[in-house]
């Protein structure tokens, strides 16, 4: 399973950020105090799309406002600076993952209540092939979501962990047309590891079923395929792969009638020709 991280990241752009800031400037007169002047200078720099300058002004405003006990300005300035970190990190993700990581980590330190930077951090670590650190970052995102009643953050963290281990399992099973027993056990190992962090989903059970087919554990494969079908929420075409794996398990186990029924439900999408082949020859 290949995940496009730019699609995974929550929608947040510099254009949206600028709109927020412009909305604030009309209601915010220039103040005499230094930190308020820095805050307003940050707004002006953002309007001019000079985000490095805006970042400097907002971080300065946050620091000075905190010293003066103005927690409102400190909070607002820190939040906008963290949003700039996120947006610049997202821009750098494809070309310079290390730089992106630094941005996301800086954003978390500035304003720990902004979830996008936790997700960005995990994705940057993945790009750097620091998989264990990426899993820890996804756990951090889940913890953030649970602490802040942010269901979306929890789901994104769980998805990131699942996608990582499901990808490893599918890669192990997909190295050749007929996976070896060693490859099947490798896939199962990844999926078992995944369940130390998050609960299994339909894809998990599908790949577990496929691995058990390769190991000749047909009854177990059928049970796992049925679990996958119970949890599946996609289209009939998406479900075809699960029915196909179930059909193979039934066929190898000698239950021809049930295998035909399963293969009939697999005659969609990329599994259509294979399922029809079995139906014609059973």
Taking only the tens place, the pLDDT of each residue in 10-61 is 545 555 555 555 444 333 444 448 988 999 999 999 899 999 999 999 999 9
Query: Rounded to the nearest 5 degrees, what angle is found at the Cα of 208, between the Cα atoms of 200 and 175?
Result: 125
CATH number for the domain running over 163-281:
1.25.40.10
Task: Please answer whether residues 192 and 169 qualify as being in contact, where contact means their C-beta atoms are separated by less than 8 angstroms.
Answer: no
Q: How high is the mean pLDDT of the chain?
A: 90
Q: What average pLDDT does range 225-248 have in this prediction? A: 97
Q: What average pLDDT does range 97-111 have in this prediction? A: 97
Burial of 125 (0-12, 13-18, 19+ CB in 10 A): buried
Name the pTM for this structure: 0.84
Residue range 202-215, pLDDT digits in tens: 999 999 999 999 99
State how far the Cα of 24 lies from the Cα of 43, in Å rounded to an integer: 8
**DSSP 8-state secondary structure symbol assigned to residue 120:** H
Domain ranges for the chain: 5-129, 163-281
Q: Does the pLDDT of residue 91 top 50, yes or no? A: yes
User: Long-range pairs for 89-92 at CB < 8 Å and ≥24 separation?
Assistant: 89/117, 89/120, 89/124, 90/6, 90/9, 90/12, 90/120
């Amino acid at each position: 399973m290949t995940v496009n991280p730019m699609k995974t990241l929550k929608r947040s752009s510099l254009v949206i950020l600028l709109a927020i800031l412009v909305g604030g400037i009309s209601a915010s007169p220039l103040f005499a105090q230094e930190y308020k002047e820095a805050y307003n200078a940050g707004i002006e720099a953002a309007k001019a799309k000079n985000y490095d300058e805006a970042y400097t002004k907002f971080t300065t405003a946050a620091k000075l406002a905190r010293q003066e006990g103005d927690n409102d300005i400190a909070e607002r300035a820190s939040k906008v600076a963290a949003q700039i970190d996120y947006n610049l990190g997202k821009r750098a993700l494809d070309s310079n993952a290390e730089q992106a990581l630094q941005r996301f980590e800086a954003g978390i330190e500035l304003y720990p209540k902004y979830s996008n930077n936790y997700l960005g951090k995990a994705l940057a670590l993945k790009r750097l092939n620091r998989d264990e650190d990426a899993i820890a970052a996804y756990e951090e995102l889940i913890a953030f979501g649970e602490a802040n009643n942010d269901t979306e953050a929890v789901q994104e963290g769980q998805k990131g962990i699942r996608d990582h281990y499901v990808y490893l399992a599918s890669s192990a099973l997909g190295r050749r047309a007929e996976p070896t027993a060693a490859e099947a056990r490798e896939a199962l190992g990844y999926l078992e590891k995944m369940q130390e962090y998050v609960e299994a989903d339909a894809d998990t059970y599908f790949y577990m079923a496929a691995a058990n087919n390769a190991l000749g554990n047909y009854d177990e494969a059928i049970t796992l395929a049925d679990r996958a079908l119970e949890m599946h929420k996609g289209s009939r075409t998406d479900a075809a792969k699960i029915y196909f794996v179930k059909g193979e398990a039934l066929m190898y186990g000698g239950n021809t009638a049930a295998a035909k029924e399963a293969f009939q439900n697999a005659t969609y999408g990329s599994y259509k020709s294979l399922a029809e082949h079995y139906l014609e020859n059973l």
